[in-house]
Structure 1
Amino acid sequence: MTFLSDNWMKIAVALGIGLLIGVERERRKGAGRDRAPAGIRTYAVTALLGALAFELGGIPLLAVVTLSVAGFIALGYFRTRSQRDPGLTSEFVQLLTLLLGALAMREPLLASSLGVTVALLLAARTRIHTFVRKTLTEAELHDALVLAGAALVVLPLMPDRYMGPFNAINPHTLWIIVVLMMAISAGGYIALRLFGPRYGLPVAGLASGFVSSSATIASMGTLAKQRPELMPAAVGGAVLSTVATITQMAIVLGATHPATLAAMAVPLLSAGFMAVAYGAWFFMKALRQKIPETIEMGRAFSFRTALILATTMGAVLLVAAALNAWLGSAGLIAGTAIAGFADTHSPAVSVASLAAGGKLEATQTILPILLAMSTNTATKMILAASNGGSHFALQVIPGLLLTIAAGWLGGLQAMMN
């Protein structure tokens, strides 16, 4: 932006950064003999010092000034080290303020954004500490680290090319799906923690459906069988879990091959609308029911399940590619339909990957994906009957049938266009 090209405006940005951070530090400075040595004036001057050092002498002068300021900060730290917990936050923030002041002379917008971020982090100190120490459990911290490692460490190392028999497997694409599945499951877990049981089992079913819709239907059926008074809420949660399945389907298809998602847009929207409508009916009934005190949270996601999913997707890719090569489209349809009994996402991703590799047209993916969704619906119907009994099944199965029927109607319309 041109109005920030003038040096005076850049210096003003540096001063603003120093004042913003300084205001927050001044409030935590304390009083008396144990007060912190740096307050609003010190941080403002530090930011200006960084800006002027960079403007007058570039990197060499900035390095000298940074070392000098670091020396003074060290002296201030030793003066306060007798306190029970002096910490190092203020000292590092003061050095960061100096560097942000220098950055403002080159990239004022970036420097101001970082300055605001630092101030927000400092101001949210109490909330962050409370969240980490009291709200976040050890298992949740472990899951967060696993997800971060999978996304930030493993994913960049995965080769992004098709390889193996029939050139059917792209490790980078498979790992993206694994990361997405873990992230989506974690999102459902967070939603369940935020909303809690006060909105009843339908919200819990929707959130748990991001982990496994089939498992959710089975658990809801077991609960409904044990506590018949929760039947409407359990049915609503069971049906709404299919909304999570459809949402996951849209996300993984978009990540694998956007053209396949575009081809499946009408079927997915039709099925999703029907699932939402049927589940919402039972949700309204559930709001008038007695709400359980607690809901078992479990883990945010299962890394083992994600790895099994990756292996399954790879196997399905190989089988689908082999059947497609040997038998043509008939082999592909049979392979995805069979795989759908175990999981609906694996065959869908496999078909989308074949389309991404140029082996299928986007419109040719509609039929096999709908078949996989249909066979997976059959699995859910069996679980509903075996775990929830006839009363539960007679309420859940119509919703499942209406949902897949709506998907087929949308699919037929998409294939005819």
Structure 2
Amino acid sequence: MEHIEVFRRLGVALAIGLLVGVERGWQERDIRAGGRAAGIRTFGLTGFLGGIAGTLQAMTGPFLPATIAVLLGAIYIAGKWQETKENEDYSITSVVAALVVFGLGFLAAVGDIVTAAAGGVATTVILAARHSLHGFLRGLTWVELRSALVLLAMTVIALPLLPNRALDPWGALNPYSLWLLTITIAALSFAGYAAIRLMGPGRGVLLAGAAGGLVSSTALTLSFARYSAQAPEGARHLAAGAGIAGALSFARVLVIASALSFTLLAPLAAALVPAIIGFLAAALFSVWRSETATKAPEIDLKNPFELTTVISFALLLGLISLVSKIAIEYVGPSALFVVAAISGLVDVDAITLSTARLAGSTIDVIGAADVILIAVAVNAVTKVVLAFTAGRREYAMALGLASVVAVALGAIGYFAARSFLPA
């Protein structure tokens, strides 16, 4: 190995240790100097030592690096034992982190340097998220934990056992594909659900809107509408949060559809990107016009990993997939527009998934984009109707205006770009 390459790898090993050391030092910054087992210098040198051990392995074989690792672990354990006697702190996180840093430094020297660097960043993120993760665990209910464990078991154990072939004459009901798509959507929704739980009761309306848009913008819009009746002075602020949720729901549709059929990216982006910009601009305008800010209410969101929720979505996805296939078979692709309009009243994800799977084969790409955008537009109108039904007039008017701007910009962008889009 050339000298330049050795220096580069040792530099990455040192950087990994310093990165983790900064986080560890910050977490233990109130402890007196010399009162902790390891700080930024020790972690930096640990990563560097891992790099040296990896470099020496080519000359000495694996025995010396293994011996260094054992001695290093013993030193850290001894230091932590002394720290425990003084501070009564029984956490072994720093010891484990030190061994991980040594291992990543070793990897940087002998393996993929990019993987080692990514591992250092991931380790630091996990360590820095201590308070958030502990808070999330404290707020986690047994029902939520049980639901996640049951779904993991059903996915890891049951998914490989499901038949990976269509069970109906139209080729719509493939149990393996349907369940895989269902779990993927549930995981995406759970990211927003977990964000709301992590933010806690002090979250802002705009942040809650962004996180809620990943779970269910419809449920968030309804929750904000009901709260606007109790806090009329913050109605416009709440409408801004609902607008951001709408923008995130549009972005969610774009990501899901493009992931299943990349050819849908261009036509959907032509409509949804301007619509997202319109929603965000209208949300900022509502914040500017709002007389006062308000806190985020409790949002009536179901755990996306709750078994009944997942099974209900799987059944809805299967039903829409089957109806879409039958409609195309006996009526033609134009029947999907009706299916999309009806589906958009309830859910956008199911029609997006089922249509994206048909794009480029059963129906052309532009037709598939039209179907998805019809469902998106109907869903946006449905949320405005819910806002007028359950919320203050100011809230509903502000959200309605934002929706009109978003849909109008999306239509202009789509029809302006349509002549340049491939069929």
Contact kept? 1:275, 1:400, Cα under 8 Å: yes
2:257 paired residue number = 253
2:329 paired residue number = 325
Shift of residue 256 of structure 1?
1.8
* Counterparts of residues 15-414 of structure 1 (less than 5 Å): 40=42, 43=46, 47=50, 50-51=53-54, 54-60=57-63, 62-63=65-66, 66=69, 84-85=88-89, 87-89=91-93, 91-92=95-96, 95-96=99-100, 99=103, 102-107=106-111, 109=113, 113=117, 117=121, 120=124, 128-133=129-134, 137-139=138-140, 154=155, 158=159, 163-165=166-168, 166-168=170-172, 169=174, 170-171=177-178, 172-187=180-195, 189=196, 196-197=203-204, 201-286=205-290, 289-292=291-294, 295-296=297-298, 301-304=303-306, 305-355=309-359, 358-388=361-391, 392-414=395-417
**Equivalent position amino acid for 1:245 in 2:** S
SS for the counterpart of 1:303 is coil
**Equivalent position amino acid for 2:330 in 1:** W
**For structure 1, which segment, 85-94 or 110-119, has the greater mean C-alpha deviation from structure 2 after superposition?**
110-119
Report percent identity of matched pairs.
22
Decide which structure has the larger Cα Rg and report it. 1
Contact kept? 1:140, 1:299, Cα under 8 Å: no
- Give distance in 2, aligned partners of 1:233 and 1:292: 7
**Equivalent position amino acid for 1:139 in 2:** L
**For structure 1, which segment, 134-143 or 222-231, has the greater mean C-alpha deviation from structure 2 after superposition?**
134-143
- Give distance in 1, aligned partners of 2:373 and 2:102: 59
**Equivalent position amino acid for 1:231 in 2:** A
- Give distance in 2, aligned partners of 1:240 and 1:95: 43
Shift of residue 351 of structure 1?
0.7
1:179 to 1:307, Cα distance in 2 relative to 1, 3 A: farther
**For structure 1, which segment, 271-280 or 109-118, has the greater mean C-alpha deviation from structure 2 after superposition?**
109-118
TM-score (norm 1): 0.74
**Equivalent position amino acid for 1:107 in 2:** G
Gaps (5+ residues) in structure 2? none
- Give distance in 2, aligned partners of 1:347 and 1:58: 58
Q: Deviations over 1:160-211 (max 9, x none)?
A: 9663333334243443333223224445x279659833xxx45544443332
Contact kept? 1:366, 1:411, Cα under 8 Å: no
**For structure 1, which segment, 229-238 or 42-51, has the greater mean C-alpha deviation from structure 2 after superposition?**
42-51
Contact kept? 2:48, 2:105, Cα under 8 Å: no
**Equivalent position amino acid for 1:180 in 2:** L
SS for the counterpart of 2:215 is coil
Q: Deviations over 1:105-136 (max 9, x none)?
A: 42383696379559957xx96x6544444576
Shift of residue 268 of structure 1?
1.0
Shift of residue 401 of structure 1?
3.5
TM-score (norm 2): 0.73
Contact kept? 2:351, 2:375, Cα under 8 Å: yes
Contact kept? 1:54, 1:105, Cα under 8 Å: no
**Equivalent position amino acid for 2:322 in 1:** L
1:71 to 1:359, Cα distance in 2 relative to 1, 3 A: same
Shift of residue 239 of structure 1?
3.4
- Give distance in 1, aligned partners of 2:226 and 2:15: 60
- Give distance in 2, aligned partners of 1:63 and 1:53: 11
- Give distance in 2, aligned partners of 1:262 and 1:365: 12
SS for the counterpart of 2:190 is helix
SS for the counterpart of 1:167 is coil
Figure out how many residues of one structure are paired with residues of the other and give that number. Answer: 405
Contact kept? 1:178, 1:309, Cα under 8 Å: no
Q: Deviations over 1:243-267 (max 9, x none)?
A: 1221211121122212112221111
Q: Deviations over 1:312-358 (max 9, x none)?
A: 223211211221122221332222221111112221221111116x2
- Give distance in 2, aligned partners of 1:361 and 1:60: 62
- Give distance in 2, aligned partners of 1:397 and 1:68: 67
* RMSD of aligned Cα (Å): 4.7
Contact kept? 1:313, 1:347, Cα under 8 Å: yes
Gaps (5+ residues) in structure 1? none
